[in-house]
Each structure stands twice: as C-alpha cells, then as structure tokens.
Chain A
Amino acid sequence: DAMVIQNPRYQVTQFGKPVTLSCSQTLNHNVMYWYQQKSSQAPKLLFHYYDKDFNNEADTPDNFQSRRPNTSFCFLDIRSPGLGDAAMYLCATSRESSIDEQFFGPGTRLTVL
C-alpha cells in the first residue's frame, strides 16, 4: 500500500558531500512536505510545495534546497551535509493547502560520516 515512497531508505554520505533524497507519491496530492526528524525529537517542517509554489520555513538553513519537477516527485538536496544534519527525513503529502490529513512516507535515514 505504498502511496508515499521514499528512496533510498538509508543514505550514507560524507561530510560536505552533496546528497539528494527523493520522494514520490501516487495520491496525486497537490501539497508535498519535507520534515527533518532527529532522534527522539518531533518532526520539524523544512519546507513544502503547494503545486509548484515553494514555501520555505524561516529557520530552515540555506544548506537545504528542494525541487519538485512534477506533481509526483519531490527532492531534498543537502548541499554540504554536516554532522548535525544526520536525521530521518520524512516526506509527506496532502490534497490541498487547506487543513487536510498529511500522509507520510517511510522516511530516509541519513548518516553523515
């Protein structure tokens, strides 16, 4: 029943080496979100797309970028990963920008060496 798919599930990168995480969805939802979840902490919203409109959170570091080439796919780019960026990265979708259930993917666990 995979509706929000994230690849890879586990990603290892080196300090400072750019890395891209991907998310795809089969729900045809307009909104896609990226969250960062560190160990034993709450998911923290980094940014989201409503259709092609990008919405960045004020406290999201410039090191994090995102692309959404079409409705189904969304990418998270970390330009220069630091040790503090090691976390679980969760993608989520919702139908509209109004209040609606968010469906989460299984996450990608990023390790920075």
Chain B
Amino acid sequence: GENVEQHPSTLSVQEGDSAVIKCTYSDSASNYFPWYKQELGKRPQLIIDIRSNVGEKKDQRIAVTLNKTAKHFSLHITETQPEDSAVYFCAANLYGNNRLAFGKGNQVVVIP
C-alpha cells in the first residue's frame, strides 16, 4: 500500500468554518510530518510541520495533531478564508531520514 494516505480528496467549507484533513502513514520509523500548501500553478510551500516528540503544534489558524500509536496526523484550519483554497499535501519522512513520501493531496475549496 501507499506509505502515506490522505483523506478526503476534496473538501468544501463555508468561509469561517473549520477544515480538517487526515493522513495515515505506514513507516514506524517516520518522525517528521510536514504539511505543504500548493496553489494552482505555484510551488508547494511548507505551512506547518510536526516532529514525533510532540503531539500537537499550532501556528495562528493552523494546527497539526499527531498520534504515533495510531500512525495518523491531521491538519486543522480554523476560521477559513478564501485564500485558504488550495491543494494541501501531507508527508512523512521514510526510515527516519530526509526522504519524504507525500499523500495524494486534498483540494480545499473555501466558499465565500
């Protein structure tokens, strides 16, 4: 199976509501979990990351939670705005090193 699986594939939310994207991973050695945002025609940009020594990290409207036992991590976006519309990729490093395996991406659409 895939190293990193991401659900749902598309998500539409009303402006101001919260959006949650979930990812699961298979490699027990993974200890770094970044989230990238990719707007149409632009490069992926890191928005938040978490290492395995913490369970949660927050940066303004964005938060990530990690459950190492269950091997899943989630991205939470609160008070969504139209500029949050993009494709979001989760990733996990393979074998505890710098090689990243990406999820298939999630298209988030924020409806004004």
**A positions within 8 Å CB-CB of B:** 4, 31, 40-45, 48, 55, 57, 90, 94, 96-107
User: Which applies to chain B's interface (DSSP): helix, strand, loop or mixed?
Assistant: strand
User: Which A residues touch B101, using CB under 8 A?
Assistant: 45
B103 touches A98 (CB 8 A): no
User: Which B residues touch A90, using CB under 8 A?
Assistant: 43-44
B100 touches A101 (CB 8 A): no
Interface range on chain B (Cβ under 8 Å from partner): 20 to 34
Query: What 9 new A-B contacts, CB under 8 Å, besides A4-B43, A40-B104, A42-B89?
Result: A31-B98, A42-B103, A45-B101, A98-B98, A101-B34, A103-B46, A104-B36, A104-B43, A106-B43
Most buried by A among B31, B45, B89, B102: B102
What sequence of 0s and 1s flags, for each residue 1-45 of chain B, a beta carbon within 8 Å of any chain A beta carbon? Answer: 000100000000000000000000000000110101000001111
A99 touches B89 (CB 8 A): no
Q: Which of A42, A98, A103 contacts B105 (CB 8 A)?
A: A42
B42 touches A99 (CB 8 A): no
Q: Give 29 pairs: A residue, B residue, CB < 8 Å, sorted on A.
A: A4-B43, A31-B98, A40-B105, A41-B104, A42-B102, A42-B105, A43-B44, A43-B89, A43-B102, A44-B102, A45-B100, A45-B101, A48-B99, A55-B99, A90-B44, A98-B97, A98-B98, A99-B93, A99-B98, A100-B98, A101-B34, A101-B46, A101-B49, A103-B46, A104-B43, A105-B43, A106-B42, A106-B43, A107-B43
